Chain A
Amino acid sequence: MTTRNMPDLQTLIADIAWPVTILLAWLTGELVYQRLRLPRISGYALVGFVLAPGQTGLLPAERSETMLLMANLAFGLILFECGYRINLRWLRNNPWIAVTSVAEASATFAAVAWLLQWLGQPQSTALLFAALAMATSPATVLRVVNDQHSSGQVTERIIHLSALNCVLAVLTFKMLIGITVFETSGSHLGALYSSVFVLAATVAVALAFGTLIPRIVGLTARSTHDTTLAFAIAVICVVALTHGLKLSPILGALTFGVAARHHRVVSSTSQRGFGPLGDLLAVLLFVFIASTLHWRQLLAGAGIGLAIIAVRQLAKMAGIGVFARVSGISARKGILVGMAMAPMSAFVILVMEQTRHIGIDLVDQLEPLAAAAFALEILGSIVVQRALIWAGESQREQGG
């Protein structure tokens, strides 16, 4: 045997870094879930952060387009499921749900924008970040809901409200990007492209898939009975297409889910969370997101980061709590819904990575953001879990 056939150690480590990290993350997730009764994803995030290039450095330092695409796919699958569990008719039957959504999202936007400007951030940065802070990450919400087997009004409302505020956040964010492009380049066309066109094209792609795919699946429904695989493949196509066209994969996957749900009165059973495929990609997603964070950024932004979290949380709880009773639930459950709206990391970080992908670097401008995102990456899922348990909606806490 010659040394030429021996693998180079550096290459080997680089090759197995991600698989080993995912294995460790999965194991930690299971331990955290069974021993500490905490959400699995908090374990994934912890491992991702510890092994990140900025910390122990097991994971490679260069940003990988492939990993970003994979993370987008994972997020896409979760968003699709989220969209699929949205009933738009509910907003018509109970308009107070829509009012609640607009209230909590705009309260969050106003409060966070005010805080950042008061802290001396430039207006454009403050507004962009305030737009992102509106969103609650449906990924975290849905993974915890599925982990806890929860059902009830808090569950139902956090799914609907997080999907709605993601849409509101993407719309606001893209509009602000459009304005920023106009202000820096003076180009109407560029501004229009990066806002209106991106949004319209994304929705068009998603609606096309949302109309076509259920029809195609309908042809095979009787033979396969379970449409999980068909929809998983379709989501991958939508995400890859929107990612490749530099559109919004988040809005795309979510809209596709909503469209698929509403284009057939009902569709056949898909496994919750896309079964083992969804579980695998979720590990990858939460590890990847935590691995983009650097401890130096966190430390530098810790103070402001915590202030952002506090203000955002208060705005959400107030915006939802005020309309709780009139929208049909007790004030207590309203506050719990507001509390469970905490997670934002997956959403924020993917949008920022995506924005970097189209040439605007936000991460380096805003260290507090990274701090807030990390705190919520670990804590957000625990807060959601607590809210569901206190609301009495968690099946797991009943002991089966």
Chain B
Amino acid sequence: MPLEPFSASAALTMGVELELQLVSLSDFDLVAGSPDMLELLARRPFPGTVVPEITESMIEVATSVHTGFSGLLDQLRSIRDALLWAGDRLNIGVCGGGTHPFQQWPERRIFDKPRFREVSQLYGYLTKQFNIYGQHVHIGCPGADEALFLLHALNRYVPHFIALSASSPFVQAHDTLFNSARLNSVFAFPLSGRAPFLLRWDEFTERYFTKMEHTGVVRSMKDFYWDIRPKPEYGTIELRVCDTPLSVERAAALACYLQCLCKHLLERSEPPPHEDDYLVYNYNRFQACRFGLEGTLVHPKSCDHIPLREDILTTTRHLARHAEQLRCTAALEHISAICHQGSDAHFLRGEYARRGVVEAMVDSALQRFRA
């Protein structure tokens, strides 16, 4: 099946998808609760969309299309309240966090749906290891070439989003020393990483996608697990590197930070993206995953070494003008606050140090999501 045409959408509109954890409120371990949650949620109108994910301990929610921070945040809050309403009736807690800190992957159950069973057959244990939770942000693009331009122009900012959203310090009851351990699980998949450096949509479809399809390796864009990928049917690019934050406020703020950045990049005041930018891409991404805001970036053009935290704070100052126009100054204030107070990963480690047991991190995550 050839790649569908890129349907244009209003520039800089945004939508958010969140993969959320379903945990038992009795023992804080993951629980196979999505069939029961979906059954109960279907009884009344849901303020967005809610769908199952590959294992039954995950649920995915999505907002509609938004232009500003307050509208997006309002909808995310209504979605959260609906989830909490259902969860409380079923003894199921809903929370963010890129990984569950102590779940054992063999215990997970695959949701009964043909595509999920197929993926599970193909990838074996990777599928259950893939019991990780991310936030995806869509940004609307007026045309396909703009989408590819944005996708590559953002390469230098990808580590910002990793460090700001990082909320997966623990895996299987042990501190990984990473701030986002979740992305390590994504890298295990053969089609992860970055999109090929092609800036024109016709080139992308003919020179890349059609050839890849011909090899039989992929059938649709869904088979690519890239950090940023185009989504032709929505007319958007989709940023996929974020861990699901512990609060919906942070999720909304991250989306608006991306929106401001895209507005800035579309002014084309920065030097255009180049294939060689990707020489430092994996190194920078590792720095963000491992050290979070304490990491050091290598600037792809100047090769300067810059502390990640400082780079984000500088960027938020540059974006202030755009934020005012997009009415999302509050979102950028939230981003600066993360730089000063620490990420969710930092918070979770603190809770573990304070209370001494891994369950405490889940308990705190549940309270953050509810707050």
Q: Which residues of A contact B (CB under 8 A)?
A: 84-87, 89-90, 93-94, 96, 149, 151-153, 156, 159-160, 218, 221-222, 261, 265-269, 327-330, 333, 392-393, 395, 398, 400
Looking at A87, A221, A266, A269, the one whose CB has the most chain B CB atoms below 10 A away is A266
* Contact across chains for B35 and A152 when beta carbons are under 8 A apart: yes
Task: A327 to B33: give the CA distance in the assembly, Å.
Answer: 15
> What does the 1/0 interface line of B33-45 toward A look like (CB < 8 Å)?
1011001100000
Report the Cα distance A153→B86, complex, angstroms.
12
| CA distance in complex: A330, B41 (Å) | 12
A269 touches B102 (CB 8 A): yes
Give the residue of A84, A86, A94, A152 whose beta carbon is less than 8 angstroms from that of B88: A94
Cβ distance B215 to chain A, nearest Cβ, rounded Å: 31
> Nearest Cβ distance between residue B349 and chain A, in whole angstroms?
15
B110 adjacent to A398 (CB under 8 Å): yes
Task: Check A85 against B26 for contact (C-beta < 8 Å).
Answer: yes
Docked CA distance A400–B125 (Å): 10
The smallest C-beta distance from B93 to any residue of chain A, in angstroms, reads 10
Which partner residue on chain B sits nearest A398 by CB separation? B109
Q: Is the CB of A267 within 8 A of B89?
A: no
Task: Name the CB-closest residue of A to B87.
Answer: A93
Contact indicator A329/B32 (Cβ below 8 Å): no
B173: A residues at CB distance < 8 A = 269
Per the bound structure, the CA–CA distance linking A222 and B353 in Å amounts to 10
Which residues from 35 to 59 on chain B have a C-beta closer than 8 Å to any C-beta of chain A? 35-36, 39-40, 56
Count of A-B contacts judged by CB separation below 8 Å:
88
B272 within 8 A of A: no
Name the residue among B26, B39, B107 with the largest chain A CB count within 10 angstroms.
Answer: B26
Distance (Å) between the CB of B239 and the closest chain A CB? 32
Which of A156, A265, A328 has a CB less than 8 Å from the CB of B24? Answer: A156
Chain B residues positioned under 8 Å from A89 (CB to CB):
25
Residues on B with C-beta less than 8 A from A156 are 24, 26, 31, 90-91
Question: A87 to B362, alpha carbons, bound, how many Å?
Answer: 15
Give Cα A266–Cα B366 distance, bound, in whole angstroms.
12
B91, closest chain A residue (CB):
A90
Tell me the bound Cα distance from A45 to B339 in angstroms.
61
- The range of chain B's interface size is 20 to 34
Q: Contacts A90-B25, A152-B35, A329-B36 known; A266 to B90 CB distance under 8 Å?
A: no
A397 (CB) vs chain B CBs: closest residue: B109
CB distance from B107 to the nearest CB of A (A): 6
A266 & B357 in contact (Cβ 8 Å cutoff): yes
- Within residues 89 to 114 of chain B, which ones have a CB less than 8 A from any CB in chain A? 89-91, 102, 106-107, 109-110, 112
| Residue of B whose beta carbon sits closest to that of A93 | B88
Nearest opposing residue in chain B for A270, CB measure: B27
Chain A interface mostly:
loop
Give the shortest distance, in Å, between B102 (CB) and chain A (any CB): 7
Could you tell me the distance between the alpha carbons of A93 and B86 in the complex, rounded to whole angstroms? 10
- Interchain nearest-CB distance for A87 vs B (Å): 4
Contacts of A96 in B (CB 8 A): 89
B35 partner, pick from A94, A392, A400, beta carbons under 8 A = A392
Residues of chain A lying within 8 A (CB to CB) of residue B33: 151-153
Which of A87, A327, A392 is the one whose CB lies under 8 Å from B112?
A392
Name the B residues within 8 Å of A398 (CB-CB): 109-110
Contacts of B112 in A (CB 8 A): 392
Chain B hits for A151, CB < 8 A:
24, 31-33, 109
Is there contact, CB below 8 Å, between A86 and B363? no
Closest CB-CB distance, B350 to chain A, in whole Å? 15
> CB within 8 Å of A: which of B1-42?
24-28, 31-33, 35-36, 39-40
**Docked-complex contact A87 and B26, CB < 8 angstroms:** yes
| Complex contact B109–A395 (CB within 8 A) | yes
Whether the pair B363, A266 counts as a contact (CB closer than 8 A) is yes
**Which residue in B25, B36, B107 is a CB contact (below 8 Å) of A152?**
B36
Chain A CB within 8 A of B358 CB: yes
* B26 contacts across to A, CB distance below 8 A: 85-87, 90, 156, 159, 261
Docked-complex contact A87 and B109, CB < 8 angstroms: no
Contact B107–A395 (Cβ < 8 Å): yes
Contacts of B35 in A (CB 8 A): 152, 392
Given the known interface contacts A218-B356, A268-B357, A329-B39, the answer about A153 and B90 at a Cβ–Cβ threshold of 8 Å is: yes
Interface residues of B in 181-203 (CB under 8 A from A): none
A198 and B39 alpha carbons, distance in the complex (Å):
44
Bound form: Cα–Cα A267–B31 in Å: 18
Q: Mark B105-132, 1 if CB is under 8 A from A, else 0.
A: 0110110100000000000000000000
- Judged by a CB distance under 8 angstroms, whether B311 is at the interface is no
Minimum CB–CB distance from B141 to chain A (whole Å) comes to 41
A112–B33 Cα distance when bound, in Å, is: 35
Contacts of A267 in B (CB 8 A): 357, 359
